[in-house]
Amino acid sequence: MATLLRVPEVAAGATEAILSEWLLEESASFRAGDPVVTLETDKALVEVPAEADGILLRPLATQGETVAVGAPMALLGDESERDSDVARLLAELGVQESSVTSGGTAPSGQPVAAPASARGDGATPASPAADADVPRTIISPLARRMLREAGLSTEDLPRGTGPNGRIVRRDVEEVIGRHRATAGPAVPDAEGTSETAPKAGQAAPVASAESATPPHLLATQAPADRPDHSVVTIPHTRLRRAIATRLTASKRDIPHFYLKRVARLDALLTLRAQLNEVSKQRISVNDLVVRAAALALQEVPEANITWTEEGMLQFATSDVAVAIASKRGLVTPVLRSAEDLSPAAIARHVAAYVSNADDGTLRQSDLEGGSLTVTNLGMYGVDEFSAIINPPQSAILAVGAARPEPIVEEDQVTAATRLPLVLSVDHRAIDGALAARWLDALVSSLEQPLRLVV
Catalytic residues: 427
Identify whether the C-beta of residue 373 lies closer than 8 Å to the C-beta of residue 390.
yes
Integer Cα distance of 91 and 54 in angstroms: 20
Task: Return the bridge partners of 325, or none.
Answer: 330
| H or E, element range at 397 | strand 395-399
Percent helix, strand and coil across the chain, each rounded to 5?
Answer: 35, 25, 45
State the CB neighbour count (10 A cutoff) for residue 115: 14
Please say whether the dihedral angle defined by the alpha carbons of residues 17, 19, 24 and 28, taken in this order, is positive or negative: positive
In one letter, which amino acid is 122? Answer: G
Integer Cα distance of 134 and 130 in angstroms: 9
Those residues whose C-beta lies under 8 Å from the C-beta of residue 161, and which sit 6 or more positions away, are 168, 170, 171
Range list of β-strands (E), 126-254: 186-188, 194-196, 219-221, 230-232
Identify whether the C-beta of residue 38 lies closer than 8 Å to the C-beta of residue 46.
yes
Q: What's phi and psi for 352, nearest 5 deg?
A: -65, -40
Q: How many CA atoms lie within 13 A of 421 on its CB side?
A: 30
Integer Cα distance of 155 and 13 in angstroms: 37
Q: What's phi and psi for 302, nearest 5 deg?
A: -65, -20
Please say whether the dihedral angle defined by the alpha carbons of residues 229, 233, 234 and 236, taken in this order, is positive or negative: positive
User: ∠ at Cα 421 (415, 427), nearest 5°?
Assistant: 150
List Cα–Cα distances, 156 to 42, 146, 165, 185, in angstroms: 27, 13, 14, 18
SS3 410: coil
